[in-house]
A and B are shown apart, each in its own frame.
Chain A
């Protein structure tokens, strides 16, 4: 296999590029820790060409033989320059030094001279996240994503987010390539990502390349730190919600290292559930990573994540949930121009409710386990051309709902294979046009022991079907992706993209507040067709002297087989789960205008986003179109950061959105003594407009101190806006009066957090 791939690439190289060229390749590392740097820039000034490092810090840059001045740079690091007389393939590993002066004047964007042909991607680092205001003082990657233009949430303090009309289950969330099926701790107040373990986050909004698949709307690709290769390093911190500690050190200096982080909430140490606080939540998570550089061409990585939440209560109710992932990766460089990665991935999400009813112990467990084998190959043809291809095979094991008691009916367990192959090409033509195009082909197969039902037109089961082994249902889909950029001038780019995405697993979550932790994941099956989305985007980007950036982006997206729930859907304890959902079409459209100041003492951005998401599903809302609950058309945001000095910076964030669509009672009637609400259409009313302002001050350590202390002081929702989560209508027969109660999240929340490193 390895030989065949090598020969194919060799053939391509000989035939297509057997000219007078040579390749510079290597890794770019942080000088202090020897961590590889993802997305670092490599740029030839005299040739005006550039590239970036891949997810493993590797770069390959093929040029005509000759003399070059090459700059290596990354945000927050001192630039490194080398002069080279390129005569043959050359390996150059670069070690970048952190730029302490950049703490005074910030650059928040990568090198503008390097053009990317991906339509819409965003890179976040722990440093950029730490500058943002945060709830409870927790620097949180998901909360940072939620602050970005066009990303919607339906309430404060949740970890779910909605991208360009996509539901929360349509975001692919990865930690070192392993999918995370529930990114929430504490019902969403904190995400599963420990900021000390995170190295980099790449976020694809809408159009993603053919490399990614499985979800319709976005990709959040989180990479964990690898561990300090040079010296032992201890860091940690404490916020209002949790404390954390990280240890990283070389195992063999400059060859192998490890990182271990732990985080735990501490409320339960000091309080137990009682009459006044009848529920106390707790959580912990652990990240472990180790890596081994066998030589320049071979490297191994092993990543592990485990997180767990537990709800303690005064009664006998407990709710335990958590994700566990393991990723083993092997990087191999065939030639300086051919990079490969092979991954073995395990992901496990479980959620269990335990309670007592009628003197019986009852448990309800939902789970999904994935076993993945993945290969990725990159062929750096030349400085204008990169070919990537790979395969992805996932074995899903679904347990949508298992009960230990006849009170709740279990939902049939099932298994499926999700296979994918992809091929993409990123190419620049005539110095004016950039294209990233590709194709992803997926085959989804329901297999193994399973039971499913045929239903009549009224969704009553009329026939039971059983399969003992082998494949009993198959879906195949071609997913073309293309992103086309036209560089009108060096500063002005016209962008366009089209992509088709397919999703074979879906989340059923029966709560309008999005705070429940009880996720049920079900596969596409004979009764549930895979969801698809066709996304067309058009945009414009203007960069002014590396200081200001203006962008405009518009999109139109059509969803097929979009899922929604019938009125009063039963999603727990229901054997015939398919009868509780309906599928149909949805369309999302909108535009975003973003103005960014990307360098200097004052940085920030001002944005406006208009968006709609309208569903049209037979069997819901009397078959009439209706907005999704996260339809919030107008969205304006201002985010500012000011660096007073190297040590002190302040940030402010203001958001305004139209109130979310909501099914509000439009009247009531009486039946058997109950006062029953009446509704007009689904999500026909709107909550009051949402707005709030957060501020934060960051205090960094003095220079050259060995023990570094970091403080973050902030206030969430500083002007105490009462943004409603929901309403409760109560009719009191005694005095014939109607009372309305509004549920709010936090009105104002001061926070302080402390971190250290030495």
Chain B
């Protein structure tokens, strides 16, 4: 009898699990052509470092007619603050604009973005809040991961999201041999390396299994490069919504879907933001001791 019931139990679980997921074609969805046609999405990499800064403009995919992202070329882009204006010009990579001069945005200042794309104009502004100094003693982000290592090497798993902090911050952890400095870092192509610390616990994130992060490695003599970025309140809210729609979208506490908040005017999407930055090196050995 026990075997029969076990057999039935296995059948139920099989049937329940068999009802899971199947891939379907886009045409099966019968998505109507919606009234919103999003024209431009803004992303940027502007920090308080004295360097060239970047702005990326794309035309979002709008279903059902367009399922691909397209770069937005030939736009006029500039930012300004306190009567100073900094122009951006398009790089060889379509849709990515670089400041024509080196400059260092100032903490607590408000910066305004102006974009003209064809006949349409877009405006946005953000203020820079100061970043708190990196304090490794209060940071739990690195997780030791010694598997698959050759003798003398150490690898650390940096979780994508970590919880229980006083402020929300963005981080970048790099191994010693990865990029000479952040200025040469391909800012838009490799943003998957960013990590985030969150205020308190975000239930959608805590219960999400999508928190794989990435590894940094080095020998005991090496140092790891750590960058910490400040986030304005508005940009923090934007990132929370972004994670609800991406990393945390399939958890048991998945939230109500919706568009991300934006500070881009005239129907633009994305976010214009400027971050204060702190940089430190930490010896691999010191990290092992923690």
Give A565 to B256 CA distance when docked, in angstroms: 7
In the assembled complex, A125 has its CB within 8 A of some CB on chain B: no
Contact A673 B191 (CB under 8 A): yes
- Inter-chain contact count A-B, CB under 8 Å? 207
A573 to B61, CA, bound (A): 34
Residue numbers in B under 8 Å from A677 (CB-CB): 245, 257
Instruction: Mark contacts of B195-234 with chain A using CB atoms, 8 A cut-off: 1 yes-contact digit, 0 otherwise.
Output: 0000011111011000000000000000000000000000
B24 touches A357 (CB 8 A): no
Please, how many angstroms separate the alpha-carbon atoms of A277 and B8 in the complex? 15
Contact A240 B203 (CB under 8 A): no
Are A740 and B194 in contact, with the CB atoms below 8 A?
Answer: no
Pick from A355, A678, A742, A749: contact of B36, CB under 8 Å: A678
Q: List, in ascending order, chain B residues with CB within 8 A of A727's CB.
A: 24, 29
Q: Determine whether the beta carbon of A270 is less than 8 Å from that of B5.
A: yes
In the complex, A214 Cα to B19 Cα: how many Å? Answer: 38
A667-B63, A684-B34 as given contacts; A512 in contact with B254, CB under 8 Å: yes
> Which size class do B's interface residues fall under?
35 or more
Chain B residue numbers with a CB within 8 Å of A576 are: none
Residue-wise interface mask of A (724-751) relative to B, using a CB-CB cutoff of 8 A (1 in contact, 0 not): 0001100000001011111111110100
Closest to B69 in A: A670
Cross-interface CB contact of A407 among B9, B206, B246, cutoff 8 Å: B206
Q: Are A568 and B69 in contact (CB under 8 A)?
A: no
Binds B, one of A217-225, A252-260, A552-560, A658-666: A658-666
The answer to whether residues A573 and B12 also contact, given A663-B257, A666-B34 and a CB cut-off of 8 A, is: no
Q: B132-149 toward A: CB 8 Å interface, digit per residue (1/0)? A: 000000001000000000
Which of B9, B22, B43, B206 interacts with A741 by CB under 8 Å? B22
Question: Separation in Å of the A321 CB from the closest CB of chain B?
Answer: 13
Stretch with Cβ within 8 A of A (4 or more), from B118-126, B176-184, B236-244:
B236-244
- In the complex, whether A2 has a CB less than 8 A from a CB of chain B is no
Chain B nearest CB: distance from A593 CB in Å? 28
Q: Does B259 make an interface contact (CB < 8 A)?
A: yes
Nearest chain B CB to A330's CB is how many angstroms away? 44
Q: Is the CB of B43 within 8 A of A510?
A: no
Which of B17, B190, B254, B271 makes the CB contact (< 8 A) with A671? Answer: B271
Binary CB contact string for chain A from 404 to 420 against chain B (1 if under 8 A, 0 otherwise):
01111100000000000
Q: Tell me the chain A residues, 38-69 only, with Cβ under 8 Å from chain B.
A: none
Q: Does B258 contact A (CB under 8 A)?
A: yes
Interface status of B41 (Cβ within 8 A of chain A): yes
The answer for the CA separation of A572 and B252 in the assembled complex, in Å, is: 12
List A contacts of B6 (CB < 8 A). Answer: 270-271
Bound CA–CA A202/B56 (angstroms): 62
Q: Is the CB of B257 within 8 A of A267?
A: no
* B35 at interface, CB cutoff 8 A: yes
Known contacts: A406-B164, A408-B203, A669-B41. The answer to whether A678 contacts B24 by CB under 8 A is no
Contacting residues, chain B, for A666 (C-beta < 8 A): 31, 34, 36, 62-63
Given contacts A407-B206, A666-B62, A744-B22, contact A511 B252 (CB under 8 A): yes
Complex partner residue of A669 from B25, B61, B164, CB under 8 angstroms: B61
Give the distance in Å from the alpha carbon of A570 to the alpha carbon of B29 in the complex: 29
* Contact residues in A for B60 (Cβ distance below 8 Å): 667-669, 678
Question: Which one of A573, A678, A688, A736 lies within 8 Å of B203 (CB-CB)?
Answer: A573
- On whether the beta carbons of B34 and A573 are closer than 8 Å, the reply is no
Do residues A670 and B58 form an inter-chain contact, with CB atoms below 8 A?
yes
CA A678 to CA B63, docked complex, whole Å: 10
Q: A678-B38, A728-B249 are in contact. Are A738 and B26 (CB under 8 A)?
A: yes
Residues of A within 8 A of B (CB): 136, 240-241, 266-267, 269-271, 277, 355, 357-358, 362, 364, 405-409, 510-512, 516, 518, 565-573, 663-682, 684-685, 688, 722, 727-728, 736, 738-747, 749
A-B interface, 4 closest residue pairs, ranked by CB to CB distance from nearest: A567-B258, A407-B201, A680-B34, A673-B191
Known: A267-B13, A358-B162. 18 other contacts (CB 8 A): A267-B12, A270-B2, A270-B9, A511-B252, A516-B252, A566-B256, A567-B256, A568-B256, A570-B202, A668-B60, A670-B41, A671-B271, A674-B191, A674-B242, A685-B29, A727-B24, A728-B250, A736-B68
22 contacts between A and B (CB under 8 A): A136-B12, A240-B12, A241-B12, A267-B9, A407-B163, A407-B201, A408-B201, A568-B240, A572-B203, A573-B202, A669-B38, A669-B41, A669-B270, A670-B43, A671-B41, A672-B43, A678-B36, A727-B24, A742-B21, A742-B22, A743-B20, A744-B19
